[in-house]
Copies of this chain bind each other. A is one copy, B any other.
Amino acid sequence: MPAKRYGIGALSRDTGCNIETIRYYERIGLLPEPPRSAGGHRSYAVEGANRLSFIVRSRELGFSVPDIRELLTLVDSGITCEEVKTITLTHLDAIRARINDLRRLETVLQSAAADCEGGDAPECPIIDVLFGHSEAAPQVKAQIETQG
């Protein structure tokens, strides 16, 4: 009995990955071109579903397409754990840097918003912060300056 095969729609449902995105991954070489039916429809085996799940999960964890390309190359060629770890740690650094950036933003905006009383006031501390010449919120301004 022949192995089970998936149309692109079934693959999409199984992996939660948009059909257009599956074709996109194929186009950019993350997914190999699958065999086609007589009429040209893509026909996937279970390996295709696994590979796509890997890609989807990696994207969810924030790996870029070039990263994933590299990870897949390693997987295909029997894995050197070392290299996988390197990619992961680099990615982890980027995530941490991003978190720090966002935390700085959070601080600045939070304190600006705290200074703002809302209502119809003719002056707005938040706007002052955005203009960068705030006298109403000098400490906030100082924080922005060191923002980078």
Knowing A81-B117, A89-B113, A92-B106, the reply to whether A47 touches B126 (Cβ < 8 A) is no
**Distance between Cα atoms of A42 and B120 in the complex (Å):** 36
Residue of B nearest to A92 (CB): B109
Shortest C-beta distance, A57 to chain B (Å), equals 5
Interface class of chain A by DSSP:
helix
- Report A35-69 residues with CB < 8 Å from chain B CB: 35, 44-48, 50-51, 53-54, 57-58, 60-62
> Given the complex, which residues of B lie within 8 Å of A19, measured CB to CB?
none
**Distance between Cα atoms of A15 and B83 in the complex (Å):** 41
Contact of A116 among B74, B76, B85 (CB under 8 A): B85
> Given the complex, which residues of B lie within 8 Å of A54, measured CB to CB?
130-132, 144
**Distance between Cα atoms of A64 and B140 in the complex (Å):** 21
Q: Does A29 contact B (CB under 8 A)?
A: no
> Given the complex, which residues of B lie within 8 Å of A146, measured CB to CB?
47
Binding site for B on A (CB under 8 A): 3, 31-32, 34-35, 44-48, 50-51, 53-54, 57-58, 60-62, 71, 74-76, 78-82, 84-85, 88-89, 91-92, 95-96, 98-99, 102-103, 105-106, 108-110, 112-113, 116-124, 126-127, 129-132, 140-141, 143-148
